[in-house]
Amino acid sequence: MSKREYFKTMLCLNLESTDPYFNLAADEYLLKNRNEDFLILGINDISIIIGKHQIANREANIKLVNQYNIPVIRRISGGGTVFHDRGNLNFSFILKSEQGKQVDFYKYTFPVISFLSSLGVHAKFEGKNDLKVNGFKISGNAEHVYHDRVLHHGTLLFNADLDQLGAFIRREPGKYTTRAVISNPSSVINLKSLLMNINDIYEFKSLMLKWFLENSPGSEQFHLTEEEIDKINDLADSRYRTWEWNYGYGPDYNLKNRFIYEGNECSCSLFVKEGIIIECEIKGHDQLASACRKLTGCRHMADDMKEVLNKENLLYSEFDIYYLF
């Protein structure tokens, strides 16, 4: 493959927004409503971004997510769950691609590897879709095919809060049985530890934009029009901010868990379809078992379930709704 096939002429968009709902919607809007090739660089406020075919409640630490009001948002590309904050640089390529050759993670990460090499960081493509340095993951990638175009999502950990990354993403999703895509956790490292001469992520972002403009012949910077911004906001509202997309979409699942309640060893079994509890069975505590049967038809969301159980006067004691997640 020639260098020309790696380095295409692109419109380069430097997103000023840090709203993850808007930024994900911008990717989809440009994929489906423009014909040009794009590079999009963006930084998001803290959020958990799950793959299209994942289960939000399994991938995120729902108790902490709710406690700190962290959004969990589904993207249109596949792959696993990633943590975003203002220490994480997101890049997206939207490129025309030949039928049958559209899914090619190495092809779309090669320019990023080349950019990092220009800074003295020697990253390698490893596994299915990761970039690693000395065995530590710095980037996860995912793709979505739309007609003859490919949307390639990627992340670059520059100075992310790795403690929060580890806390907000669930590492042991074994309670869930489903055909949904499972994330593959890896040991990670921030690029800032390797790039001491770069002050912050905004400088890093500017360097990446400048490098692509200089190394992709004919590429130029691109700005969204006011009309496009309005349409992207509409898409963010109609898809990315909705419960139906973020939690209701996705494969069915079964959840089984064991816990102690009022001195009793209890077990629970839930079957959830399109985010709604279809079956709920609890054994080991008669009052709890009777009340939880009323969760049938409830969304598998902590606040919704609390409202049901409050009506049964159950939450006065030490029952933790997150036993059911």
Which of 55-69, 178-192, 210-224 is the least confident region? Answer: 178-192
Q: Average pLDDT for residues 65-89, to the nearest whole number?
A: 96
DSSP sequence for 11-50: EEEE-----HHHHHHHHHHHHHH--S-EEEEEE--SEEEE
Amino acid at 14: N
Task: Tell me the angle at which helices 105-118 and 201-215 cross, rounded to the nearest 10 degrees.
Answer: 110
Give pLDDT, residue 173: 64
Q: pTM of the full predicted structure?
A: 0.93
CB atoms within 10 A of CB 295: 21
* d(C-alpha 60, C-alpha 71), whole Å: 10
Residues 7-51 have pLDDT tens digits of: 678 999 999 999 999 999 999 999 999 999 999 999 999 999 999
Domain range 3-248, its CATH number among 3.50.50.60, 3.10.310.30, 3.30.930.10, 3.90.1300.10: 3.30.930.10
Which of 60-74, 103-117, 188-202, 303-317 is the least confident region? Answer: 303-317
Q: What is the DSSP letter of 108?
A: H
- Cite the residue boundaries of each domain of the chain with CATH code 3.30.930.10: 3-248
- Cite the residue boundaries of each domain of the chain with CATH code 3.30.390.50: 253-324
Give the model's confidence band at 172: pLDDT under 50 very low, under 70 low, under 90 confident, else very high.
confident
* d(C-alpha 136, C-alpha 186), whole Å: 7
Give pLDDT, residue 317: 63
Say what percent of the chain tops pLDDT 70. Answer: 94
CB atoms within 10 A of CB 3: 10
Taking the alpha carbons of 117, 125, 82, 8 in that order, is the dihedral positive or negative?
positive
* d(C-alpha 93, C-alpha 152), whole Å: 5
Give the model's confidence band at 313: pLDDT under 50 very low, under 70 low, under 90 confident, else very high.
confident
Question: Mean pLDDT in the chain?
Answer: 91
Residues 6+ away with beta carbon under 8 Å from 254: 176, 177, 178, 269, 270, 271, 272
DSSP-based three-state secondary structure for 303: helix
pLDDT at 1 over 50: no
Residues 267-288 have pLDDT tens digits of: 999 999 999 999 999 999 998 8
Alpha-carbon distances of 106 from 124, 187, 251, rounded to whole Å: 10, 21, 28
* d(C-alpha 258, C-alpha 255), whole Å: 10
Give pLDDT, residue 316: 53
DSSP-based three-state secondary structure for 204: helix
Give pLDDT, residue 193: 95
Give the model's confidence band at 183: pLDDT under 50 very low, under 70 low, under 90 confident, else very high.
confident
What CATH number has the domain spanning 253-324?
3.30.390.50
